[in-house]
A and B are shown apart, each in its own frame.
Chain A
Amino acid sequence: MIEDHLPALIIGIPLLAGFATPLISKLHDKLRNIFVIGVLGVTLLLVGLLALTVFDSGIFVYVMGGESTGLTLPSGFKMPVRIVLEVDGMSVFMAIISSVVAFLGAVYSWAFMDGHTGKDKYYTLLLILTAGMLGMEFTGDMFNFFVFLEITSIAACGLIGFRINRGESAEAAFKTMVLYTLGALLFLFAVGVLYGEYDALNIAILASRIQYTGLDKIALGLFVGALALKAGAVPMHMWVPDAYAEAPAPITLILVANTQVALYGLFRVVFTLYGLTISTQTVGWIIVILGVLSMFVGVTMALIQNKIKRLIAYGAVSQIGYMLLGVGVGLATLGTPALQEYGIKAMEGSIFHILNDAMYKGLLFLTAGSIIYSTGKRDLNELSGLAHDMKFTCLFFIIGAGAIAGVPPFNGFASKLIIYESVYKFNPLLSVIAILASIVTLAIFVKIFQSAFLGPKLLEVRKEPRSMVFAMLILSIIVVAFGLFPNIVVDNIVSPAVNALINHMDYVAAVLGG
């Protein structure tokens, strides 16, 4: 019975729990924390169950409010009239990432937010942000995608500016809100263009009707621009260091997944909605160039930062570049023999990198949060010798830094290696830039390690609480395990996601039949 309603439950449970949280907060703080962690744990389990179903039986279509949840076309109708959730390999892949980071973010928040006021609002926004991300991943409808995009934007901005005792947080939240709103408005405009042309909002219907007219080209430009902005691609990345640096550390962990959901939206639009109707070479190269710029500018700007979270945030911008690069190559080769030769591998590398990135970058932000919690300092110039007292954090930082820099045997190496080798066949120069960016990435994390952890002990530090260590430990285990056995992850989770993007007609057929 539950299996039949999984997509609706996965979105609905955190959403409703978000509104229940202030009420439970009235009873007891500890009860509220247990409730939030429990809800996100259940959501994670349900996502796992849905993943097994999708990987086993293919695309899961769920019709809201109909006489049957599987009936997309009631008799006499040529197109779905109800809200349709459509979950394929790519959607569920992203949902795994979102639900894991949301759960660990809540666990980490328990101790990290201890002593802060307004936690009922904090947890409400956290749950709503999670529901919004999962909604973006599961929806089969462009307008609902916009609605969930807005839900994530509002919740994310609320959380970025959650603590306004530091003026920078409010400023970062304002800047992010302005850009998110601008992007969302243009996204809505593009949805309106497609609705005006094709009388439909359902992605499958639109994909089956799209002609790639002049208006469709304008809509495509708006979609790509708005989603690349939310993903933090250079040169639209400038809100990222502001937001990531100022949000509480567990929220930064979830924001990383939130930007990745924007990437998911971008991939869904170009592969599923437009597919082969577009000039794949042109759009593919646009994505590749955004990726190369992100890799290079992100990492070089990181090198000169002295605020720990700001430095990692620029590193995060750089990692977005790897994801864009591989998928851009995949798109540029779509419909050509090169897709089978190296395009699919490039996409596998990038999609695998999305998963890896969420884990190691999340881990790095949590270690930065741990340093801020223990020392009260954000500036690397004021830190020294933390390895003496923060042994766990130091170890977790080494694992995260090794992974983001692509050092074997961590997970980042495996996905970057696939990207280097496959992209080399497309254009060797792109691979060289990617490798160079990786080397500089290692240099920036050596800078943090040298400044914060090495050297004489100069500061009094608070011990890291257990819940914070637990969240970092889980992410570290994932980073190491995915690095040791990358083939298991690629074969079972990544390949179905890539196939879902490439075989976009399956997505259409799941709704329209045939």
Chain B
Amino acid sequence: MMDLIDFGTLETGYGVWNALYWLLSLGVLFLIVYFIYWRGEKTVKTSKDQGRPFLAGSVTSKEKTHVKASNVYWGFTEALKGYYVPSQKGHTGNVNDYISWFILVLAVMMILIGGL
């Protein structure tokens, strides 16, 4: 019986992890959600417009609604400009700079390893 309980159980340091129990819990949760959905209001009317894209107050075509990758997380990167501007400048794409970073790391490591 204990073998069955321990099946798939991983010791993680502080505790344990078992993906099979996690999936089982997810299944139970799904059943509860489905039960609530099943008990829900059945008289709601749906129309085609409910599924149409709605952007900035006007219904628009699907093609225009797709958010491009360069716009995703714009707010996040804008807020962290102080970090991103120098970081991007640091990634010059110049192999001389790559070597400079390597030499800098080597120098720091030599000091740390040699001095301590």
A residues sitting closer than 8 Å to B (CB atoms) are 174-175, 178-179, 182-183, 186, 214, 217-218, 220-222, 224-225, 228-229, 235-236, 238-239, 242, 278-279, 282-283, 286, 297, 300-301, 303-304, 306, 342, 345-346, 349, 379-381, 383-385, 408-409, 413-414, 417-418, 421-422, 424-425, 443, 447-448, 450-451, 454-456, 458, 483-488, 490
Q: CA separation between A422 and B14, bound complex, in Å? A: 7
Q: Are A486 and B87 in contact (CB under 8 A)?
A: no
Q: Are B77 and A304 in contact (CB under 8 A)?
A: yes
Q: Are B10 and A214 in contact (CB under 8 A)?
A: no
Q: How many residues of B contact A (CB 8 A)?
A: 48
Q: Does B98 contact A (CB under 8 A)?
A: yes
| Across-interface contacts of B11 in A (CB, < 8 A) | 345, 487
Min CB distance, B49 to chain A, in Å?
17
B42-72 contacts to A (CB < 8 Å) = 62-63, 65-70, 72
Q: Does B35 contact A (CB under 8 A)?
A: no
Known contacts A218-B110, A303-B76, A417-B12; decide if A486 and B17 are in contact (CB<8 Å).
Answer: yes
| Across-interface contacts of A179 in B (CB, < 8 A) | 95, 98-99, 102
Q: Does B34 contact A (CB under 8 A)?
A: no
Q: CA separation between A381 and B106, bound complex, in Å? A: 39
Q: Mark B70-98, 1 if CB is under 8 A from A, else 0.
A: 10110011001001100110110101011
| Across-interface contacts of A379 in B (CB, < 8 A) | 69
Q: Are B69 and A238 in contact (CB under 8 A)?
A: no
Q: Which of B97, B101, B102 has the most CB of A within 10 A?
A: B102
Additional pairs, 5, CB under 8 Å, beyond known A214-B114, A484-B20, A485-B8: A178-B98, A279-B113, A349-B13, A421-B12, A422-B13
Q: Are A483 and B19 in contact (CB under 8 A)?
A: yes
Q: Are B14 and A238 in contact (CB under 8 A)?
A: no
Q: Are B109 and A279 in contact (CB under 8 A)?
A: no
Q: CA separation between A379 and B69, bound complex, in Å? A: 9
Which of A282, A413, A456 contacts B113, CB < 8 Å? A282
Q: Are A421 and B14 in contact (CB under 8 A)?
A: yes
